[in-house]
Chain A
Amino acid sequence: MKEVNLTELEAAFQAKIDSEVRIEPKDWMPERYRKTLIRQISQHAHSEIVGMLPEGNWITRAPNLRRKQVLLAKVQDEGGHGQYLYSAMETLGHSRQQSMDDLISGKAKYSSIFNYPTLTWADIGAVGWLVDGAAIMNQVALCRTSYGPYARAMVRICKEESFHQRQGFEIMCVLMKGSEEQRAMAQDAMNRFWWPALMMFGPSDADSTNSEESLKWRIKRHTNDELRQSFIDATVPQAELIGLTIPDKDLKWNEARGHYDYGQIDWNEFKQVVSGHGPCNTERIAARKKAEEDGKWVREAAMAYAEKKKARKAS
């Protein structure tokens, strides 16, 4: 065994990052880099599968067959995205089952947005348009993240997500061309989802604890506030085009900055939801726990059957 100095290894690692060489599973990496990635990728994976719940809520009540097919396909995609991400996370030596146990026990986090309820059909429009829209902003940036398996998973996800946002916006467009009640329903969904969607980018840069290191290691490529601003700039004209009002009295175009100025985000609400006190936190975890427990006998039976087949083949 060669004696290798930790400082040298870290310097070589950083040099690779700085010259845009991707890090692959078996490469040497600082323990903090590994831990940060495990935390971020598993949170991301959990967000995908918990994200199936608020939309799954409307599958049986979609207004027509086309909408139902689309929503089913979208929810199935979210499940698939969770699978790509758990697969990327496992390359870092963290087991999928451990990760699932951490979600159910409440130890692991997921995106706070999925702790809000989907009360009306318009919410499905708002989720696709705003929530997936915000997620895409974040995920497009992550296609160039420094860890190879994570970047590759993001490329697949981004390809699939673009239909998600379009189907949501289409729902909103149709409602805005509808009756007085339908327009009111769309505006109400907008009012409830706008601010939580902005919170999806995480705390503002001044208060973000993980940002600096993640930027240095190029896990993140842009700060939370930069991505939030891009999302606002992209979304405001879309809302205006179909006649929706952004629920922010301070929102206005700033010619000098070339960006929209926006009002103060209620970070207290964000903290409440993240720490487990959002409207649906308990319900979401209970649903995941039930799925895990109800599926247990199926997993066991499949394993037992596979072993029996293998034994029969061997004899």
Chain B
Amino acid sequence: MSTKDWPLWEVFIRSKQGLAHKHVGSLHAPDAEMAVENARDVYTRRNEGISIWVVESSQVFASDPSDSDAFFEPAQSKVYRHPTFYEVPEGIAHM
């Protein structure tokens, strides 16, 4: 195919005020504006969104899953960051 393919965009949708944008999938579009319009037609046909972000997929830099054990290890060894680590004496209902 001689035509240059449209770039791939990742689509993020805010479903209502107060909630964060959430990744829903991807699509192809020639530019950001058309990516947003296509995202509306593909991902919000039933009022699933009030705001759309698109990011060109090639711009996403991700952590490496094959390295995730070591990468996330620092948090795993720190149980004292969780409230359940601490003893609360009997008689205290809320803390």
Q: Which of B25, B31, B34, B64 contacts A310 (CB 8 A)?
A: B31
Given known contacts A90-B26, A303-B4, A303-B30, A83 and B42 CB-to-CB distance under 8 angstroms: yes
Mark B28-49 against chain A: 1 for CB-CB distance below 8 A, else 0: 1011001000000110011000
- CB distance B6 to A27 under 8 Å? no
Q: Which of A28, A84, A160, A302 contacts B25 (CB 8 A)?
A: A84
Mark A87-117 against chain B: 1 for CB-CB distance below 8 A, else 0: 1101100011100010000000000000000
Given known contacts A77-B45, A90-B26, A26 and B62 CB-to-CB distance under 8 angstroms: yes
CA distance A301 to B64 in the complex (A): 37
CB-CB < 8 A to A306: which residues of B?
Answer: 30-31, 34
CA distance A27 to B69 in the complex (A): 13
- Interface: B87 (CB within 8 A): no
CB-CB < 8 A to A309: which residues of B?
Answer: 31
- CB distance B25 to A153 under 8 Å? yes
CA distance A26 to B65 in the complex (A): 6
- Interface: A76 (CB within 8 A): yes
- CB distance B3 to A296 under 8 Å? yes
In chain B, residues 1-33, which have Cβ atoms closer than 8 Å to a Cβ of chain A?
Answer: 1, 3-6, 8, 25-28, 30-31
Mark B52-80 against chain A: 1 for CB-CB distance below 8 A, else 0: 00000000001011100000000000000
- Interface: A259 (CB within 8 A): no
- CB distance A97 to B45 under 8 Å? no
In chain A, residues 22-36, which have Cβ atoms closer than 8 Å to a Cβ of chain B?
Answer: 24, 26-28
- CB distance B26 to A305 under 8 Å? no
Q: Which of A76, A77, A87, A152 contacts B27 (CB 8 A)?
A: A87
- Interface: A299 (CB within 8 A): yes
Q: Which of B27, B46, B65 contacts A83 (CB 8 A)?
A: B27
- CB distance A95 to B5 under 8 Å? yes
Given known contacts A87-B27, A90-B8, A305-B30, A160 and B65 CB-to-CB distance under 8 angstroms: no
- CB distance A97 to B30 under 8 Å? no
Given known contacts A24-B65, A84-B25, A160-B46, A97 and B41 CB-to-CB distance under 8 angstroms: no
- CB distance B34 to A302 under 8 Å? yes
Minimum CB–CB distance from B6 to chain A (whole Å) comes to: 6
Minimum CB–CB distance from B9 to chain A (whole Å) comes to: 10
Residue of A nearest to B31 (CB): A306
Given known contacts A26-B64, A90-B26, A80 and B3 CB-to-CB distance under 8 angstroms: no
CA distance A149 to B6 in the complex (A): 21
- CB distance B26 to A299 under 8 Å? no
Given known contacts A26-B64, A302-B34, A101 and B1 CB-to-CB distance under 8 angstroms: yes
Q: Which of B30, B45, B64 contacts A80 (CB 8 A)?
A: B45
CB-CB < 8 A to A149: which residues of B?
Answer: 25
In chain A, residues 52-79, which have Cβ atoms closer than 8 Å to a Cβ of chain B?
Answer: 76-77
Minimum CB–CB distance from A246 to chain B (whole Å) comes to: 33
- Interface: A207 (CB within 8 A): no
CB-CB < 8 A to B27: which residues of A?
Answer: 83, 87
Minimum CB–CB distance from A90 to chain B (whole Å) comes to: 7
Residue of A nearest to B46 (CB): A160
Q: Which of B3, B8, B66 contacts A28 (CB 8 A)?
A: B66
Residue of A nearest to B66 (CB): A28
CB-CB < 8 A to B25: which residues of A?
Answer: 84, 87-88, 149, 152-153
- Interface: A294 (CB within 8 A): no
User: Most A CB atoms within 10 A — which of B1, B3, B8, B30?
Assistant: B30
Q: Which of B3, B26, B66 contacts A303 (CB 8 A)?
A: B3
Q: List 7 A-B contacts (CB under 8 A).
A: A88-B25, A90-B8, A153-B25, A302-B30, A303-B6, A305-B30, A306-B31
Interface residues in chain A, defined as those with a beta carbon under 8 Å from any beta carbon in chain B: 24, 26-28, 76-77, 80, 83-84, 87-88, 90-91, 95-97, 101, 149, 152-153, 160, 296, 299-300, 302-303, 305-306, 309-310
